[in-house]
Structure 1
Amino acid sequence: MSAFTERPLAARGREWAVATPHAAASDVAAEVLRGGGNAVDAALAAAAMLTVVYPNQCSVGGDLLALVGTRDGDIRFVNASGRAPRAVDVLPLTAAYDVMPVFGALPVTVPGAVAGWGTLAEIWGTRPLASALAPAEAAAREGVAVASGLANDLARESSHLARDPGMRGVFFADGEVLTAGQTLRQPHLARSLDLIGSEGPAAMYGGEVGASLVKLLAAGGSAMTEEDFAAHTVELSQALAVEYDGVEYLSAGANSQGLFFLQGLKALDVARTVRGPLDPLGRDAGVVASVLAWTAGDRDRYCADPDWSSAPVDHLLSDTYARRVAEHAMSGTAVDLLAQRKASGDTVAVVVADADGTWVSLIQSVFHSFGAAVLDPGTGIVLHNRGASFSLDLASPNGLAGGKRPMHTLMPVLVREGGELVGAHGAMGGRAQPQVHTHLALHLAAGSSPEHAVSVPRWVLGAMEAGVTTGAGVVSAERDVPPAGVHAIEEAGFTVRSLGANDDGVGHGQIIRRAPGDGRPHLAAATDPRADGSAVAG
């Protein structure tokens, strides 16, 4: 639970709403909305604040993917994910490693978050980017209280962090990692945020901030150059969509795993027509797990940079394929999983809706908890390890190559009904993000409120992250998942591992949904109790 005593997990409002995994981020977003800013302005303020208060899960040195929907019906996918160094020498890596390294300079791809912030502010924002970054800069300079989620990850990852001088200088005091409630000050990060505010994304992609990061990466053996940073671009495209029980869910294609969430949801809609409303915590848990296992396999076969290898989107989202997946899941035949890997925090989700009809689902991440476990002392920036997603099997569509984007776990979600946007969803959970979103969708379809949907017990299967394998076919279930659900999962051929209640090993969810009211619809927002967040509405 959070170190904060006052953090509402649910809120309702007529005009606007926001939910994030840290109360400080929700508060700054709410202030922007109260002051006349729009949903994108608010999302950017929250995103920047989260890099200060949740550096275990996101950073100026990480990536960003988002969906933005406006009242006129336009929905755009913002893909700010970065690429591998163009000069990377792949063959020595394949000779030295069986899988991509997780820590250090080698798995660091070009950080795309700052470019994503700039694009969002330029196209949809009503205020300068500097305005969104100012509260985060002040918080980094003046210090913030370490939240429980950050403290837990500091304790869990302390052995990795202690090996890096930059990490030790920020997150340790007197040789020990900071604990909940202690003050975290990040003056060098504050200066970086100030530079980005004054110079824009150019400070990262061709300026002082990026140059410092490249110098550190080169010292660690990376082939990254300032030219790689300067060449970074943000892509805008249309979202993909499927229906579940008459409600349309939209997510990301390209190198995002959003496609595979939609694929699974479409198959589950077929199962729903046969079995009735699906209960992922009861009799239908095994069917849901089997569908999710199938789609995870498709993700690992097909998800890659489309500039290098295009997934068969039309086939994966076809009615015929959805029936095939659903029938296999309902047959009771087990689906083999890739080996499970260690799980820890990696991602933050920001969801915002405003009175003008703009909806935002913004996801940013460092991939593993604290990313590559490398912090640049000159800039105060934690570097992500998104390149750990690459395969060293060069025949794989996701095989490492110079200038290539890795398969990306980030996947924003918007919801549409009757042609109008009615929801923004976001989740933390690494490779399990599609599963968290599936749980949320099934509970909402069964009539749950947003607050109930994010807070009920959950289970996830398979790998959250890339890394060392520890077993296969494992479903990690919170201890209060009902026995009927556990039994159904085991009957489907999976092994169940018990977690504690409200364990962040099953991810975090954030939701805003438009709901009927007394003569006028309202916005209902909810944040996951497994994080340190809050929901605010007005």
Structure 2
Amino acid sequence: MADRPTGNPHSTRSVVHAPSGMVATSQPLASIAGLRILQQNGNAFDAAVAAAATLAVVEPTMTGLGGDMFALMYSQKDKKVEGLNGSGRAPKKATRDYFLSQGFKKVPDTGILSVTTPGIVDGWAETLKKHGTMTFSQVLQPAIEYAEKGFPISEVIAAQWRRCEFFLRRNKEATSVYLPNNRPPREGEMFKQPQLAKTLREIADGGRDAFYKGEIARRISDYSEKNGGLLSYDDLATHTSTWVSPIKTDYKGHHVYQMPPNTQGITVLEMLNMLENFDLSNFEHNSVDYLHLLIEVKKLAYADRDYYVSDPKFTDVPVNHMLSKEYALSRSQLINHSKALENVGPGLNLKGDTVYLTVVDKDRNVVSFINSIFGDFGSGIVPNGTGIILQNRGASFSLDKNHPNRIEPGKRPFHTIIPSMVLKDDKPYISFGVMGGDMQPQGQVQVLLNLLEFGMNIQEAGEVARFRHDYNETALESEISSKTRLDLIDKGHKIISSVDVFGGYQGILIDPTTNMLQGGSDPRKDGCAIGY
């Protein structure tokens, strides 16, 4: 590591400061696309869609037009945080009886039967319709250019692409589109997507209906029908996004906002409510006692998540009960500071892949935005002539008739992707996210505590070493000492080492004193925060 001349000598880079507008994403080309829109007098909502669409081109391992999205938005006009649920639903033909009759004991993790209705494009359209100042044609232009002319493959994406080669070979269309020259593209190589460019142009010209009711919908549904899938033209034509009221909690004077179920956002809030019952000033950062406490809190909150969270249109989710401070106190009292809890809950171990971005404009409109196709390259299915990777979000459903997340026609699946936003004194303060399936709530809590409890800046908070607990195993990043690992083992934790499982963070903080924008971006990804 280089010797930094100032600030934290262990930090990878400085905080990005800018007065007028800022974009933070996991790909520099997407950050620049969002900045380009801001500098063309677009607002944060326009820029967020432009950046998200560009990510769908330049980070195809993680996101695409065949996935879902969620967003938390603060508009200066309305002076409030609102949420947009842009997740798709199970096909109308997707019944538990169908899967059982085909001999399945669980919904397939990948392939045509794991596909749910894509929600991203309608979510983009709703964002622009309600808050944007630009047209689809304008905000999709950067994405179209990168799809047509090509873009150089970045380092992290090149490595992830290599790991997916065998998976992509299962589908001839995916092989044709995403294994050019019969292999994954290498770092620095130009990659063009003419089919996806054509699809994006159709959306730019015809709006969301071109995707859900036009030829694109026909190509997707025809492919599904011919290949044994359940997704139909009617599923696409009847899809809608939903504007929702976010859920929130107060953590030491900060209002932390999350998306409600069908997402796991409530898990973040429950963890914070439990942690309020402990004086964290007594803990050293990433010490054995600190990590033990966070892991135990995570276990309890995730056990509730796995038991309760589902589509509230189909299941009564006890949101108020789960968010009550009294309930958090009772749960926190189960924690033994000397010994790890056992048999708290099985966990779903959902290792999804996602992109997160955040944008703040000159008027201080704020967007916390997340897109996903769930697994690496989603379902692995690419309908003919579209260039679109369909998501495998159906894998989140259960075939257990008593499970709240059991599969039902038209039901939204349990969702791991969650944007976050923090208000202080009723003004936007922090917009951030940590992508990565099950990592997201535990990652968000670690980042937020780094900011609010340990005084780290917006860059440091997202780059210091993290843990990830799944099932009964806890992965620790290499910076955490051997002594801490041994001490955690003595408390009953099963400690493992792993890489590329600790999520990817992006964040923007609005300084409440100067109104200056501060941006941070995760070194675990290829991206950056950039402003003007």
TM-score normalised by structure 2 residue count: 0.93
> Structure 1 residue aligned with 2:518, among 496, 507, 524?
524
Alpha-carbon distance in structure 2 between the residues aligned to 1:49 and 1:397: 35
Give the superposition deviation at 1:244. 2.0
User: In the alignment, is residue 43 of structure 1 matched against residue 39 of structure 2?
Assistant: no
- The equivalent residue for 2:509 is 513
What per-residue deviation string (whole Å, max 9, x for no partner) do you get for residues 355-375 of structure 1? 212110000000001000111
Alpha-carbon distance in structure 2 between the residues aligned to 1:86 and 1:371: 20
Tell me if structure 2 keeps the 8 A contact 1:278–1:442: no
> Structure 2 residue aligned with 1:457, among 445, 465, 470?
465
- The equivalent residue for 1:183 is 190
Give the superposition deviation at 1:245. 2.6
Alpha-carbon distance in structure 2 between the residues aligned to 1:452 and 1:42: 25
Following superposition of structure 1 onto structure 2, how do residues 118-517 of structure 1 map, counting pairs within 5 Å?
118-272=125-279, 276=282, 279-331=285-337, 332-336=339-343, 337-338=345-346, 341=349, 343=351, 346-445=353-452, 446-462=454-470, 472-483=471-482, 485-487=484-486, 489-499=488-498, 503-515=499-511
Give the superposition deviation at 1:16. 1.7
- The equivalent residue for 1:3 is none
Q: Which moved more, 1:7-16 or 1:144-153?
A: 7-16
What per-residue deviation string (whole Å, max 9, x for no partner) do you get for residues 448-480 of structure 1? 001101111111111xxxxxxxxx401111111
- CA-atom RMSD, angstroms? 1.9
Alpha-carbon distance in structure 2 between the residues aligned to 1:9 and 1:105: 44
Q: Which amino acid aligns with 2:23?
A: V
Tell me if structure 2 keeps the 8 A contact 1:29–1:43: yes
Tell me if structure 1 keeps the 8 A contact 2:306–2:347: no
Q: Which moved more, 1:106-115 or 1:73-82?
A: 73-82
Give the superposition deviation at 1:293. 1.1
Q: Which moved more, 1:330-339 or 1:246-255?
A: 330-339
Give the superposition deviation at 1:36. 1.3
Tell me if structure 2 keeps the 8 A contact 1:9–1:535: no
User: In the alignment, is residue 65 of structure 1 matched against residue 70 of structure 2?
Assistant: yes
Alpha-carbon distance in structure 2 between the residues aligned to 1:265 and 1:65: 21
Q: CA 1:335–1:244 in structure 2 vs 1: closer, same or farther (change >3 Å)? A: farther
- The equivalent residue for 1:74 is 80
Alpha-carbon distance in structure 2 between the residues aligned to 1:163 and 1:309: 36
Q: Which moved more, 1:278-287 or 1:316-325?
A: 278-287
Q: CA 1:81–1:9 in structure 2 vs 1: closer, same or farther (change >3 Å)? A: farther
Tell me if structure 2 keeps the 8 A contact 1:9–1:534: no
- The equivalent residue for 1:52 is 57
Q: Which moved more, 1:300-309 or 1:264-273?
A: 264-273
Q: CA 1:109–1:340 in structure 2 vs 1: closer, same or farther (change >3 Å)? A: closer
- The equivalent residue for 1:85 is 91
SS in 1 for 2:448: helix
Alpha-carbon distance in structure 1 between the residues aligned to 2:14 and 2:408: 43
SS in 2 for 1:504: coil
Alpha-carbon distance in structure 1 between the residues aligned to 2:341 and 2:494: 11
SS in 2 for 1:284: helix
Tell me if structure 1 keeps the 8 A contact 2:350–2:438: no
Q: CA 1:150–1:496 in structure 2 vs 1: closer, same or farther (change >3 Å)? A: same
Following superposition of structure 1 onto structure 2, how do residues 16-27 of structure 1 map, counting pairs within 5 Å?
16-27=21-32
What per-residue deviation string (whole Å, max 9, x for no partner) do you get for residues 103-140 of structure 1? 11111100000000000000011111221111101110
Tell me if structure 2 keeps the 8 A contact 1:286–1:491: no
Alpha-carbon distance in structure 1 between the residues aligned to 2:181 and 2:266: 47
Structure 2 unaligned regions, length at least 5: 1-11
Alpha-carbon distance in structure 2 between the residues aligned to 1:369 and 1:327: 38
Q: Which amino acid aligns with 2:224?
A: L
Give the superposition deviation at 1:303. 1.0
Give the superposition deviation at 1:504. 2.6
Q: Which moved more, 1:525-534 or 1:170-179?
A: 170-179
SS in 1 for 2:105: coil
Q: Which amino acid aligns with 1:514?
A: I
Q: Which moved more, 1:279-288 or 1:185-194?
A: 279-288
Give the superposition deviation at 1:283. 2.5
SS in 2 for 1:227: helix
Residue identity (%): 31
Q: CA 1:11–1:248 in structure 2 vs 1: closer, same or farther (change >3 Å)? A: same
Q: Which amino acid aligns with 1:521?
A: N
Q: Which moved more, 1:435-444 or 1:30-39?
A: 30-39
Alpha-carbon distance in structure 1 between the residues aligned to 2:491 and 2:129: 49
TM-score normalised by structure 1 residue count: 0.92
